[in-house]
Amino acid sequence: ILNVEQSPQSLHVQEGDSTNFTCSFPSSNFYALHWYRWETAKSPEALFVMTLNGDEKKKGRISATLNTKEGYSYLYIKGSQPEDSATYLCAQYSGGGADGLTFGKGTHLIIQP
Amino acid sequence: NAGVTQTPKFQVLKTGQSMTLQCAQDMNHEYMSWYRQDPGMGLRLIHYSVGAGITDQGEVPNGYNVSRSTTEDFPLRLLSAAPSQTSVYFCASSYMGRVTNTQYFGPGTRLTVL
């Protein structure tokens, strides 16, 4: 079982400010890292899938970077808006005997007007 | 496309009762999986399937059975419900080559076991 850690656990950000948070994962036998956005009372939705060291992906005001050698990924949100309030999950592909994704506990982001 | 559908949305069971959580997808995805989500925990994989007739255990399989008789359906059975199985259950599906393919999640089933 992989150990995927996310920090901080929760984050309050003023509307208009930019923010970022971290996903740490084992760097050995790396396959892929997924980021999901999970709004309350909805199901998780995919943001990015990253596979290569140095990868940088962007979707609107949200971007993510990947460092597979040191085992971390950052998610950045530029100019936070209230609709960005959600839990952001990262997940690493497990491989081996238990297929599927190993999820971190998430970063709960609250944007304050 | 309806995507991934789950029924029921809510369920209350008594300890010892059995039930089946239904999951269906209409995207012709080979890979389907069940996760549970508990407060303070990440999503944890219960069982998964890479195609009809093939299932395997995830991280927390005890107390649950699955089968995959068709590509579309992947039901999760609780054989004898226990309070520790109180959780929100999510079904997900994706194309094969799942290392990079994103997973599509259903809306979830909130289960309470008394």
Which tens digits make up the pLDDT trace of A18-45?
999 999 999 888 888 999 999 988 899 9
How far apart CA B46 and CA B48 sit, in angstroms, is 7
Contact call for residues B29 and B59 (beta carbons, < 8 A): no
Q: How many helices (H) and strands (E) does chain B have?
A: 0, 11
pLDDT at residue A97 in the model: 47
pLDDT in tens, A38-85: 998 889 999 999 999 999 999 999 999 999 999 999 999 999 999 999
Residues of A in Cβ contact (< 8 Å) with B91: none
- Choose from A3, A10, A43, A47 for mutation: most chain B CBs within 10 A: A43
